[in-house]
Amino acid sequence: MAISEFFIRYLQRRQELSAGELCRLRALSSERVEFESGEFILSSRNEAGRSGIMLQGMAARVHRNMTTPDSRVITGLYFAGDFIELQGFVTRPPDSGIVSMGRSSVEFVRQEELQQVAAEYPGLARLFWMTTAIDAEVLRQWQVAATSLRSSAHLAHLFCELYTRLASVGAAQDLVLNLPILQREVAEILGYSAIHVNRAARDLRDRGLVRWIGSEVVILDWEGLKRLARFDPSYLSLVN
Amino acid sequence: MAISEFFIRYLQRRQELSAGELCRLRALSSERVEFESGEFILSSRNEAGRSGIMLQGMAARVHRNMTTPDSRVITGLYFAGDFIELQGFVTRPPDSGIVSMGRSSVEFVRQEELQQVAAEYPGLARLFWMTTAIDAEVLRQWQVAATSLRSSAHLAHLFCELYTRLASVGAAQDLVLNLPILQREVAEILGYSAIHVNRAARDLRDRGLVRWIGSEVVILDWEGLKRLARFDPSYLSLVN
DNA sequence: CGGCAAATTGACACATCTCAAAGCCTGTGG
DNA sequence: CCACAGGCTTTGAGATGTGTCAATTTGCCG
């Protein structure tokens, strides 16, 4: 199947594409796959040598906790338009991978073919490379937030980032997010226990900033939330 | 000045280079600069549009703490052979940058020229891109360690990583590291207070694992240190 | 209605931070 | 060679943040 316009539209969030580049991208062959909640989208082995682009839904990069192997650590989140495992040249431990959070739909491209496109169009190579760099920059900001903010301010920062990212691709609006994610999974992102996430969420509720019921998160006071989280979206490198 | 053989040797740690690639790399022009302890190697503005390769010494990527602006957060360390600010397409806040830890020496290359080389040699483009991905992978592992390990085990993990990285480029041997770094700066890496780093260091000393005096760190029991830190070096993607 | 998983709350233990003080090292000036 | 000053390290005590365990409540789904 030909590659979807999603892919192209999301690339254009970051950089203008020439006519030749557009044409070459449209000639890529791809395969769309739907995933159920909790399924592995790409395992650490990445046997098929594939890269993926999120079309719908949400996915997380999970690692095994080093001391309690039954719990996990999440080091990245991916939404519509985000690349996943684009590179494929990093050796990863056998217990990390990309997991679908809720239902999701992913478009796969063979890595060889991407490398081929990158070789033909240096501008696209640069764009793919930039994607990896932005992913790393988001992680850096997570680390800065983790050491700078605690409890509810830290959770507020996550909500600010997620709303900004989702709104930028039209997957959220009017200060409402749909996050198919449990408190336990938020804990795996922030490095807290699930119970502490619950307390942080209660604090945001008590302050009248956020209402979080089930998978629906409603931001009641965007300015107040940003202020508490000291949120500055520039690290997301969004053009709009 | 022509580019140093350091650069080339360190690239070959990660991937074989063809004769053509070697030739093209040797034609790059570069400039070597020495830095004193604490000097900024690259500011967030990166005005000169330069990338750097560490030749000697140590550097850290620092960010401003979000709540206490006089303290910092360190999200990356760079040693001989490591690229710094290779990409240059990520917008960073004005308070982050690369700082020399102790004296260091850096080789600068103009980013345009690197992009040019990457456009001519897709294999090199892939290699540069891989460098960014490995940098991110190290940060992911830091995050996993930060949520999995505490206190002395966390510090032990840092020592294991640093010794492995430094030994792989010949900048450390016989279980001795020379780290021009204060306890306060280790705290900025691990996300602890300096006092807590001191207590963690005392614990490692009491266990007979590490002796850390001034800038000299001696690993007394490598196997024991690795066991405590649950260290697995595969995330560093080192070939040797 | 029953059953299960998740969310919520409380009590307590442990990890880590902050503040304060003392000890140590090193460079400087007499 | 000594005295001193300053910054770093070390240690202690108390405050705060966060984890664990247990119990209850809520919400969803059969």
Please list, in sequence order, all residues whose beta carbon lies within 8 angstroms of the beta carbon of residue A24, skipping any fewer than 6 positions away. Answer: A117, A120, A121, A124
Task: Using the CA of B192, give the nucleotide whose C1' is nearest.
Answer: C16
Residue B67 has pLDDT above 70, yes or no: yes
B163 three-class SS = helix
More confident position, B237 or B221: B221
Query: Cα distance from B189 to chain A (closest Cα, Å)?
Result: 10
Determine whether A23 is exposed, middle or buried from the number of CB atoms within 10 Å of its CB (0-12, 13-18, 19+).
exposed
> Quick one: which H or E segment has residue B110?
strand B97-110
Question: Is the sign of the CA dihedral A23, A24, A29, A34 positive or negative?
Answer: negative
Q: What region does A197 belong to: left with phi over 0, alpha with psi -120 to 50, or beta?
A: alpha
3-state DSSP assignment of residue A27: coil
Instruction: Round to a whole number and report the distance in Å from the CA of B163 to the C1' of C29.
Output: 41
Q: A189-209: per-residue pLDDT in tens?
A: 999 999 999 999 999 999 999
State the Cα–Cα distance between residues B163 and A125, nearest whole angstrom.
Answer: 33
Share of residues in chain B with pLDDT > 70 (%): 93
Instruction: State the nearest residue by CA to the C1' of C7.
Output: A198
Maximum alpha-carbon separation in chain B: 55
Contacting residues of B for A119, CB less than 8 Å apart: 122, 125
Single out the residue of A139, A144, A159 nearest to residue A200, CA to CA: A159
Lowest-pLDDT range, A39-48, A109-118, A132-141, B136-145?
A39-48
Q: Is B72 left (phi over 0), alpha (psi -120 to 50) or beta?
A: beta
Q: How far is the CA of B184 from the C1' of D6 (A)?
A: 17
Sort out which chain A residues have CB atoms less than 8 A from B130's CB and list them.
87, 89-90
Locate tokens 């010494």: which residue? Answer: B57
Query: What pLDDT, on the 0 to 100 scale, is given for residue A69?
Result: 87
Question: Does the C-beta of B69 come within 7 A of strand C?
Answer: no
Predicted local distance difference test score (pLDDT) of residue A44 = 65
Q: What single-letter DSSP state applies at residue B111?
A: H
Residue in A88, A82, A75, A84 with CA at minimum distance from that of residue A47: A88
> Cβ of B110: how many Cβ atoms within 10 Å?
16
Q: How confident is the model at residue B153 (pLDDT cuts 50, 70, 90)?
A: very high
A96: nearest Cα among A41, A158, A33, A56? A41
CA distance B202 to B210: 9
Choose the weakest-confidence range: B29-33, B143-147, B191-195.
B29-33
Q: How far is the C-alpha of B59 from the C-alpha of B54, rounded, in Å?
A: 8
Q: Residue B88, SS3?
A: coil
pLDDT in tens, A10-25: 888 778 888 998 998 8
More confident residue, B14 or A226: A226
Provide the mean pLDDT of chain B. Answer: 89
* Residue A46, pLDDT score: 64
The answer on pLDDT for B237 being more than 70 is yes
Distance A192 CA to D22 C1' (A): 19
Task: Please answer yes or no on whether A93 and B119 come within 8 Å at the CB atom.
Answer: no
Mean pLDDT of B160-176: 94
A156/A220 Cα distance (integer angstroms): 12
Q: Looking at residue A219, what is its pLDDT?
A: 96
CA to C1' distance (Å), from B185 to C20:
22
- The whole-number pLDDT of residue A50 equals 82
**0.75 surpassed by pTM:** yes
Render pLDDT for B105-152 as a digit per residue (tens, 0 to 9). Answer: 999 988 888 888 888 888 888 888 888 888 999 999 999 999 999 999
Amino acid at A52: G
Asked whether B50 and B98 are in contact (CB, 8 A), the reply is no
Give Rg (Cα) of chain B.
18
pLDDT at residue A128 greater than cutoff 90? no
By C-alpha to C1' distance, D11 is nearest to B199
Residue with tokens 């890269």: A51
Residue to substitute from A92, A148, A154, A160, interface B, most B β-carbons within 10 A: A148
